[in-house]
Structure 1
Amino acid sequence: MNKEQIKQRMKAILALDSHPGHIAAGFAVGVFISITPFFGVHTPLAIAAAFLFRLNKLTTITGAWVNTPLTVVPVLAASYKFGEWLLNIPPRPFHLTELSWTALKPYAKAVLLGSSIIGLAAAVLSYFLCYWLVVRFRRKDPGLAELTRESIIAGEDLELEPKQVKHDP
């Protein structure tokens, strides 16, 4: 993707006909997925999470692409070091010869723990940042500003409809 394509995608996300919280939730779940060490399946995981949790597919997939090939190794190293510290494992060098589960196996427990916590923190931060960006972007356009105002006032049901409760007479 070039710079113009990224800009157009961001505008499309910010202008979606949806509650800002719904847009931000999808993006945040995608960001969490992007931090996990499940290489090659981030996009399918994002699609599955979007269907499972009824999130916007575009924002969830976009969030899953936040951790790029340029950042994946530093994120993995940070995840390992953080997980190692949390597990109180004696420090050892983190050397990867390739990005595969075979290469990560000796570091798996620490990487999974570290990436889960870092991913959760990144997801929370990205939720609030995305929500703020959606609202800020929409203020510039009267139609989008009205959409945002109405969706915030009316709310948006992100959960399944409540089950009918039968009352016995």
Structure 2
Amino acid sequence: MSLSRIGSYYKRRVARLPGTPHSIAAGFASGAAVSFTPFMGFHFVLGAVLAYLIRGNMVASALGTLVGNPWTFPFIWIATYELGSNVLYNASDGVPKDTLSFSYLIDNIGDVLIPMILGGAILSIIIFPLVYFPLRLMIQRFRDSRFAKRQRRAKLQRQKAAEEQA
């Protein structure tokens, strides 16, 4: 199965979730936003809490957390760390890149985690509207076209029934 087909499937799956376009888009955006935090293993819970607070769809928030996955996490972590380091320190300060190793991360967790939390919070605030508004529009358009299609089908069936009776 190609990536575009998988993307198309998930797009339709999200658009067909029960709820208003706002609740679905808010839920998905909540999940996507919390995927930019460094709290691995808690993204589902954080996404559900945020979705609950803004009246978002819980299932959509779980699907939104799939934005953070093994293929995207390295890029997300680098972006959150770099952004957080640039805000907290000068770009030249912070953890030297040549010393980043697993043992360094364990020994100096605060030097890495604090910038990642700050960078993740900033990116989450940016990501939420970037996901919410286009997704809400897409869901509304999908539902409008689906409704129009049902209306056309019902009209044709009424015409067919009227012709059969005449």
TM-score by length of 1: 0.71
1:51 & 1:132 partners in 2: Cα distance? 21
2:31 & 2:149 partners in 1: Cα distance? 24
The structure, 1 or 2, with the larger RCO (C-alpha pairs under 8 Å, 6+ apart) is 1
* Matched AA of 1:29: S
Corresponding residue SS for 1:35: coil
Q: Structure 1 residues 102 and 59 mapped into 2: Cα distance closer, same or farther (>3 Å)?
A: farther
The Cα of 1:56 is off from its aligned counterpart by: 0.8
The Cα of 1:81 is off from its aligned counterpart by: 0.9
The Cα of 1:24 is off from its aligned counterpart by: 1.0
> Can you give the 5+ residue segments of structure 1 that lack an aligned partner in the other structure?
147-169
The Cα of 1:122 is off from its aligned counterpart by: 0.8
The Cα of 1:66 is off from its aligned counterpart by: 0.7
Q: Structure 1 residues 16 and 115 mapped into 2: Cα distance closer, same or farther (>3 Å)?
A: same
Alpha-carbon contact 1:26-1:59 (below 8 Å) kept: yes
Q: What corresponds to 1:139 in structure 2?
A: 144
The Cα of 1:70 is off from its aligned counterpart by: 0.8
Q: What corresponds to 1:18 in structure 2?
A: 19
2:81 & 2:44 partners in 1: Cα distance? 23
CA RMSD, Structure 1 to Structure 2 (Å): 3.0
* Pairing partner for 1:128 from 128, 133, 136: 133
> Greater helix share, 1 or 2?
2
Alpha-carbon contact 2:47-2:65 (below 8 Å) kept: yes
Is 1:29 matched up with 2:34? no
1:23 & 1:39 partners in 2: Cα distance? 23
Q: Structure 1 residues 103 and 26 mapped into 2: Cα distance closer, same or farther (>3 Å)?
A: farther
1:27 & 1:127 partners in 2: Cα distance? 7
The Cα of 1:45 is off from its aligned counterpart by: 2.4
* Matched AA of 1:117: I
Q: Structure 1 residues 95 and 66 mapped into 2: Cα distance closer, same or farther (>3 Å)?
A: same
The Cα of 1:144 is off from its aligned counterpart by: 8.4
**Sequence identity of aligned pairs in percent?**
26
Q: What corresponds to 2:122 in structure 1?
A: 117
How many correspondences in the alignment?
A: 145
> Can you give the 5+ residue segments of structure 2 that lack an aligned partner in the other structure?
152-166
Compare 39-48 and 120-129 and name the one that shifted more: 39-48
When Rg is computed on C-alpha atoms for both structures, the one with the higher figure is: 2
